[in-house]
Structure 1
Amino acid sequence: MSTYDDASWHYGGDFPAELPGKNGATHTGMFLNWCIDKDLISDELKEDVPEEIEIVKRREITGAEFVMDAMDGKFSEHDLNTMGNSFAKDYYKDDTDFGNRFSSFADDYVNLFDTKAEENDYEYETFYHIEDTYENYDLMKQVIDYRFEEWKEYKRLN
C-alpha cells in the first residue's frame, strides 16, 4: 500500500520550530477534505472513522486536523476509492505525466497561496506557514475542482 503523504515527513528537518506539527498536514488535509467532499474516500475509511468524516463535512474540524487526529498524520491509497486513487496518483503525487502537462497539487498549492500573499502584500515564510482555514480550503477547492475536470478529460472519463 503506497503512502501519498505523512505529516512526519514534513515536521522533521527544516520544519519551522515555532509551528505546530499539524502544519505539516495542512496541504494534505486540504486535498483529503476535497476527497471527502467529492466522496472519493474508501469504504474502509468511512467505516473506520464515520463520525470524524461527518465532523469534517460540517466544517467543525479542518482536513489537517482530521489527518492528524483520525489518520495519525498519514494519507495512503487505503484512504481513497478507485477514482480517488487514480486522481491522486496523477495529481497529488509529484512528477507524473498529468502533473507535468497540467500541474501537480503541490505546484497549484504553492502558486495559489503565493499569489494570494502577493495580492495582500505579504509573503509566506515557508510552505508550512499557510494557514489551515476553511477560507484557504475554499480557494484551493476551486483549483482542485478545475484540475479534476482537466484530469477527467485527460483520462477521457467525460
Structure 2
Amino acid sequence: MKYDDASWHYGGEFPADLTGEAGATHTGMYVAWALLSGLSGDIHITDFPEDIPKLKDRAVTPGAFFLSACDGKFTDEDLSDEGNAFTAHYFNFDSGQYLADYERTLGQGLPDGPNSLYYVTDSWENFDKLKPVLDRRLSEWRANAG
C-alpha cells in the first residue's frame, strides 16, 4: 500500500516559487521519525544499509532522505507491522491527525493560502520541533491499542 508519493504534490496548485522537493518535506519528516523510532521494516535495513546511518548522523535532511532512499514514495514496505498499524491510524490524510499536528507545530509564519505547508523548511530544526508531538501520538496510540 502506498501512503504518499512526493509526485502527487507537484501538480495542481503547488506553489510556483518552490521546487518539487518541497512536496516531500511533510512525508520526509514522518518517514524519518518512523525509521529513527524503530518502526522501520526490514527493507531499509537490508536493501539500503548506507542510507540509515546518513539519517541517524543527520548528514541528510528528512525530505532529502525520503527523496533519495525512498524515491519519494512512502509504502507499507518501509514500516514494521506496528509502524503500519500506527501510520494507518495517524498518517491517513482523510481521517488521521498528522497533517493537523504538522500544521500546528510547523505552520506558523508561512505564507497564507491553501498550500502554505509546502513552505515548511526541510531541516533538522523543524524535525526536532515535530518529533515530540509524534512521540506523544505514538505513546497515546500504544496505550489505547492494547
Output the TM-score relative to the length of structure 1. 0.86
Q: Tell me if structure 2 keeps the 8 A contact 1:49–1:70.
A: yes
1:2-56 Cα distance to aligned partner (Å, 9 max, x none): 1000000111111112212111010111111111111211112211111111100
Q: Structure 1: which 5+ residue stretches go unaligned?
A: none
* Corresponding residue of 2:54: 55
Question: Helix, strand or coil for the counterpart of 1:78?
Answer: helix
Between the two proteins, the alignment pairs up a number of residues equal to 143
2:36 partner letter: D
* Corresponding residue of 2:84: 85
* Corresponding residue of 1:155: 145
Pick the aligned partner of 2:127 from 119, 124, 137: 137
Question: Helix, strand or coil for the counterpart of 2:3?
Answer: strand
Question: Helix, strand or coil for the counterpart of 2:39?
Answer: coil
Percent identity over the alignment?
A: 41
2:106 partner letter: F
CA RMSD of aligned residues (A): 1.2
In the TM superposition, residue 123 of structure 1 has moved relative to its aligned partner by 3.2
Report the Cα distance in structure 2 between the residues aligned to 1:148 and 1:14, rounded to whole angstroms. Answer: 32
1:97-124 Cα distance to aligned partner (Å, 9 max, x none): xx4xxxx11110011123xx2xxxx333
Q: Tell me if structure 1 keeps the 8 A contact 2:90–2:98.
A: yes
Q: Tell me if structure 2 keeps the 8 A contact 1:26–1:64.
A: yes
* Corresponding residue of 2:72: 73
Report the Cα distance in structure 1 between the residues aligned to 2:55 and 2:84, rounded to whole angstroms. Answer: 20
Output the TM-score relative to the length of structure 2. 0.92
